[in-house]
């Protein structure tokens, strides 16, 4: 195991502790940014080691679930501390995560892969299974609260929130069962004799467990440093005069960096199936795990929670993303044009978030 793969996570954690103890100044901020980038690179490396040992789709599932669990913990901690002021943060972060994954990550993967390899392919059965669960989950969590009448617009009643949380967990669990047990072959990449990684000797059991431990440490460092930097981000958003929802976008961008890096790297290596497993799996986990956590906190702690998108443009962008994603992933073969479309939509999302 190269020294940097364990040194960087350890240094990042130590820097996180320093930032929590003495606060964030200019020097600590710059070091935190550098450590954050290093922790992202280390987490991707360890995720790939695990993936090579356990095979697909378990490797991508480990990274997606690990990131989402820690992301949910970060959101929960900020909601508990911020109270009513952070009532919209879970919604903003989940919506931003969906836009980043379905437009940004997918778009860059298709564009990079298309430019390098021309036409790429993946198993359409797997992507369709994910999208079939993702579309109703996103609608149930982010759109319907705007139109229900039992409580004020954008919110759910206690029973409605419990139903949405239960539906999220159930659909995500069924998808994981389909992905890993019943129809695992739908998510396996096609064999590629030209790919040297396919014939490389898998890591030992000890190496794999060490990589798993270091992956967790790296992800904790990523999310912890993102939280440390969040006041700086919030101050920058206020100074720039951008909407407060931009904070959720910034947090989602930081937290999703490991998955984005891994997905783009896989697409560049002509392993688009891995990219799709990461993207769709991460989008589903973002809703299926985060919504139940924040819903439980809202009911138990009495913390207000606003889930419904209150801007018509956001609902339109979400619907457009669904339609374009369904068209893009309908045939199992992609090229750079489809990637360009998603990248432009992602740029439109960012632009309209800053200039509503």
Q: What digits encode the pLDDT tens for the residues 243-278? A: 877 878 887 887 788 788 889 999 999 999 989 998
Whole-number pLDDT of residue 193: 45
For residue 50, what pLDDT band results from cuts at 50, 70 and 90? confident
Of 4-8, 84-88, 302-306, where does mean pLDDT reach its minimum?
A: 84-88
Rounded Cα distance, 122 and 214, in Å:
30
CB 16 within 8 A of CB 224: yes
Of 256-265, 304-313, 319-328, where does mean pLDDT reach its minimum?
A: 256-265
Q: Give the chain's domains with CATH numbers.
A: 3-354 (1.20.1420.30)
CA terminus-to-terminus distance, the chain: 48
Of 84-98, 132-146, 192-206, 334-348, where does mean pLDDT reach its minimum?
A: 192-206
């Amino acid at each position: 195991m190269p020294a940097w793969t364990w040194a960087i996570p350890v240094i990042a954690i130590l820097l996180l502790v320093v930032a929590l103890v003495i606060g964030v100044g200019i020097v600590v901020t710059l070091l935190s940014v550098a450590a954050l980038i290093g922790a992202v690179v280390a987490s991707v490396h360890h995720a790939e080691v695990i993936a090579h040992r356990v095979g697909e789709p378990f490797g991508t599932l480990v990274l997606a679930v690990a990131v989402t669990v820690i992301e949910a913990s970060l959101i929960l901690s900020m909601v508990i501390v911020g109270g009513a002021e952070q009532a919209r943060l879970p919604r903003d972060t989940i919506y931003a995560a969906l836009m980043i994954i379905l437009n940004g990550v997918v778009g860059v993967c298709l564009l990079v892969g298309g430019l390098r390899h021309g036409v790429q392919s993946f198993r359409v059965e797997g992507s369709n299974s994910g999208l079939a669960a993702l579309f109703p989950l996103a609608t149930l969590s982010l759109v319907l609260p705007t139109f229900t009448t039992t409580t004020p617009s954008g919110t759910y009643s206690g029973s409605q929130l419990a139903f949405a949380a239960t539906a999220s967990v159930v659909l995500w669990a069924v998808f994981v069962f389909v992905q890993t047990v019943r129809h695992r072959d739908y998510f396996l990449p096609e064999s590629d004799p030209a790919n040297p990684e396919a014939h490389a000797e898998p890591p030992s059991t000890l190496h794999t467990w060490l990589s798993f431990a270091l992956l967790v440490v790296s992800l904790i460092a990523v999310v912890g440093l993102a939280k440390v930097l969040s006041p700086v981000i919030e101050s920058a958003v206020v100074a720039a005069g951008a909407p407060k929802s931009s904070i959720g976008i910034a947090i989602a961008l930081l937290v999703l960096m490991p998955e984005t890096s891994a997905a783009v790297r896989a697409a560049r290596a002509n392993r688009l199936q891995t990219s799709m497993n990461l993207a769709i799996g991460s989008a589903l986990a973002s809703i299926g795990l985060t919504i139940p956590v924040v819903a439980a906190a809202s009911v138990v702690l009495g913390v207000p929670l606003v889930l419904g998108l209150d801007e018509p443009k956001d609902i339109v962008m979400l619907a457009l993303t669904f339609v374009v994603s369904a068209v893009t992933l309908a045939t199992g073969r992609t090229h750079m044009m489809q990637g360009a479309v998603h990248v432009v939509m992602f740029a439109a999302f960012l632009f309209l978030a800053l200039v509503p």
